[in-house]
Structure 1
């Protein structure tokens, strides 16, 4: 360790892992199992460790502890990218070793990575169980669903606590309140360590044989959000506390040594949040039983094209495009016909309630005449007959020619009291990341692995279009474990 106060304190390890969520912890424990000396760098305090994972229910798109859901690969295939060159896609159907460099770095969902998750998901869950994690099909905040999901008992926090305890027991060294800033490379281009800062901006140097990037996306960095997403990013906020720690340094560090970008940099995984609430993930997922209006008191989208778990992301993105990035979910007393509807509301704030629409409009700050007109037109377009089924898409749709339509659960809003929840676009995580291969090796712009550099979790740019729900934590666990196996000497 240097005595010069201007020289960074130096530490030597086999593997340095950046990030303490599911990706980083899986990598660390996996490397420790291989006998590596491991350091874990975590920006937060020990009390907040765990990144996004700490705050999520950690649902996984699986039909059992051994198999992914039936629609797992097909949903990824449907959201693999935009206007892809068919000649390049046909090349991707062949053996990866024969792919050209442009296909290896193509900005699309790599089928090799999806196959890897499919094959490794079951074994990864069995591995997590060896640390005391239990999985089950548990109640979630969705009233209606389109796929199967399993989750750890105790949510993401259970994963963090189990893996962190295992890492500590196996001898990992944790460096809290420590932020990685730059990768160290040698003359051959191999990554040899990390430059970081600790408390009071104290410089630190970590020499290592390999580095694993597991520090998430950039949902906590307003500069990067505005750069990639645009001015509307001012209305975004992370879904949970862990997101504020994700400031994108891992992505920038990787790109500074030549990593290829991947994932939709202009898009996020969006969730509808109550902006009044500071609770973890204060989502409101009952708008499909009412209507959504903007600050002008106007409807702007079909609130119920399908089950809410399949459509809330797209609808929430449209909320971001409305004036000031906010909307109101308006319902009447008929919401009481939906069994246990409050389970789909995770806000700790009560809805705004009023005996009349005029009173409600005044309370939520939208023009009363406009709201009355919107509700009157909507009510007139609702079907006069048909059976309301809150637990399945019921086909109760508005009349032909009425716009925007409502495809299911269209019932008049006529019975007071009326209630409303404000909704903004919550940023669960960003889609843009870096390219890896099936060994979790970061690849450069020519498709070649960068020696000594691995990545997992939100760092991997995997998503385009619509997020394949309940796959992010699974992505982190699978590729984190692989990264640790490969990084260990």
Structure 2
């Protein structure tokens, strides 16, 4: 067999691409993985994530899993008749209706059904899972984690792929899809060291979103996207070519192209995911020294994204959380601080304002108004305590206690772009759909490139989505290799 002919060509070496490669290789396929990064940085964003999984056990997703995904995958303001049509099972719907929805209910159902078997599959490769402490001091849903995080998943899958003889082409970029006269995808045109080559075979696009592409960010999200930065250096490799090349051959778009998964991070830090989740215990102020949002509308795991989006809306996309000494009495409070930078500290609010460059009088007035709106009650930092401000706009719904005990601390916060929401649509077999809702022969997608979310993210589903549909894509591609 020629060196450029394979049963499956996989673009991307994160957990989605590696799952596809291993699954296909286990079925006896000849597989190649194309990765833009060098070998030592393989894994994309998967390598740097904690890899939270929205599961209540190793075999079961959470009770709200399908409902939450369906709600976040619904088209905003859809006409009632269309919404009813989109909610019907795929087998009963016209193809155009499938193409108009973001996420097919049957795809969500398959996602939920295959999560447990996928975890069992990974355990067979030596990956261990546990309900470990998270950075969320309060949470509404359990999070299963792989011991060792995303890096452990990448290394286990890559080792299995190498054991099965999967070929890897590092420092190689995917350029475009090769398509025959019947519309079947027959391979992937790649470029390495300035030279192009066509790798023949069915294709799985698992090369992420476009958080590393300033042009696409500006086009879809507008000029304020300059205030965003990828959550980790792996995001810089995600430049959206997989989405573009699929759309160019008629793939249906899915997900919210104008939005992204937001996470609060410290802009002073250069480490991966320098998150700051301590803000519910203080107040958030913008560059004018004013509050602008409810810092604690619910548990931090369920509300941090909406709060972070409000931070992104502020002037220059930045805010500061102002805390007093009370937050240091919270058990394990440092779990909510992933940043490697120390707090900015002062024994007075005026001194803190000067240290962080905010208007001193404005910050003093904001703190005084907030303190006056706090009422007596029992402060319960590790559960929703309903201790809310009275007569303050915007209100603070929980953990509202005066900022009065020095030393006072502040952390700057900006919104990181964990991943973009816009991508392509797939069916239950991870086949990419065209604008009419029909599968494009020979083309699959898995991971962030699959457009799933609108408005906000269903927490702890992204890594799991990549693992599940990567595994499905590899197996299905091999099962259909003789259909060409």
Whether TM-score is above 0.5 comes out as yes
Of residues 404, 411, 424, the one that matches 1:414 is 404
SS in structure 2 at match of 1:52: helix
SS in structure 2 at match of 1:412: coil
Q: For 1:122-137, what aligned pairs fall within 5 Å after superposition?
A: 122-137=116-131
Partner of 2:386: 395
Give, in whole Å, the separation in 1 of the partners of 2:401 and 2:343. 20
Partner of 2:110: 116
Shift, 1:110, TM fit: 2.0
Give, in whole Å, the separation in 2 of the partners of 1:340 and 1:140. 11
Of residues 51, 56, 59, the one that matches 2:44 is 51
SS in structure 1 at match of 2:19: helix
Give, in whole Å, the separation in 1 of the partners of 2:288 and 2:98. 47
SS in structure 2 at match of 1:292: strand
The aligned length equals 478
Give, in whole Å, the separation in 2 of the partners of 1:407 and 1:90. 35
Shift, 1:74, TM fit: 2.1
Q: For 1:324-343, what aligned pairs fall within 5 Å after superposition?
A: 324-343=316-335
Kept after mapping to 1: 8 A contact 2:191/2:197: yes
Give, in whole Å, the separation in 2 of the partners of 1:141 and 1:365. 28
Query: 2:306 matched to 1:293?
Result: no
Give, in whole Å, the separation in 2 of the partners of 1:344 and 1:444. 43
Give, in whole Å, the separation in 1 of the partners of 2:52 and 2:219. 31
Partner of 2:300: 308
Q: For 1:223-302, what aligned pairs fall within 5 Å after superposition?
A: 223-302=215-294
Question: Which piece of structure 1 moves more, 67-76 or 224-233?
Answer: 67-76
SS in structure 2 at match of 1:394: coil
Query: 2:434 matched to 1:444?
Result: yes
Shift, 1:109, TM fit: 2.8
Kept after mapping to 2: 8 A contact 1:10/1:205: no
Q: 1:413 to 1:99 in 2, by over 3 A?
A: same
Q: For 1:133-212, what aligned pairs fall within 5 Å after superposition?
A: 133-199=127-193, 201-208=194-201, 210-212=202-204
Shift, 1:84, TM fit: 2.1
Give, in whole Å, the separation in 1 of the partners of 2:188 and 2:63. 41
Shift, 1:355, TM fit: 1.1
Shift, 1:89, TM fit: 2.9
Query: 2:316 matched to 1:351?
Result: no
Q: TM-score, normalised by structure 1?
A: 0.96
Give, in whole Å, the separation in 2 of the partners of 1:159 and 1:336. 34
Shift, 1:10, TM fit: 7.1
Q: 1:381 to 1:326 in 2, by over 3 A?
A: same
Structure 2 runs not aligned, ≥5 long? none
Kept after mapping to 2: 8 A contact 1:10/1:207: no
Query: 2:425 matched to 1:432?
Result: no
Give, in whole Å, the separation in 1 of the partners of 2:454 and 2:422. 9
Shift, 1:134, TM fit: 0.8
Partner of 1:87: 81
Query: 2:28 matched to 1:38?
Result: no
1:278-336, Cα deviation, whole Å (9 max, x unpaired): 11100000000000000000000000000111110011011111000000011011112
RMSD between superposed Cα atoms in Å: 1.2
Of residues 69, 72, 89, the one that matches 1:76 is 69
Give, in whole Å, the separation in 2 of the partners of 1:402 and 1:139. 34
Q: 1:95 to 1:407 in 2, by over 3 A?
A: closer
1:260-294, Cα deviation, whole Å (9 max, x unpaired): 00001111000000000011100000000000000
SS in structure 1 at match of 2:320: strand
Of residues 63, 66, 70, the one that matches 2:59 is 66
Shift, 1:145, TM fit: 0.3
SS in structure 1 at match of 2:100: coil
4+ runs deviating over 3 angstroms: 92-95
SS in structure 1 at match of 2:4: strand
Give, in whole Å, the separation in 1 of the partners of 2:324 and 2:220. 39
Give, in whole Å, the separation in 1 of the partners of 2:404 and 2:250. 60
SS in structure 2 at match of 1:353: strand
Give, in whole Å, the separation in 1 of the partners of 2:189 and 2:256. 28
1:103-158, Cα deviation, whole Å (9 max, x unpaired): 11114332111101110000010011111111111111111000111011110000
Of residues 366, 374, 386, the one that matches 2:377 is 386
Partner of 1:485: 475
SS in structure 2 at match of 1:70: coil
Give, in whole Å, the separation in 2 of the partners of 1:191 and 1:386. 64
Shift, 1:342, TM fit: 0.9
SS in structure 2 at match of 1:25: helix
Shift, 1:95, TM fit: 3.6
1:227-277, Cα deviation, whole Å (9 max, x unpaired): 101111000000111111100000001001100000011110000000000
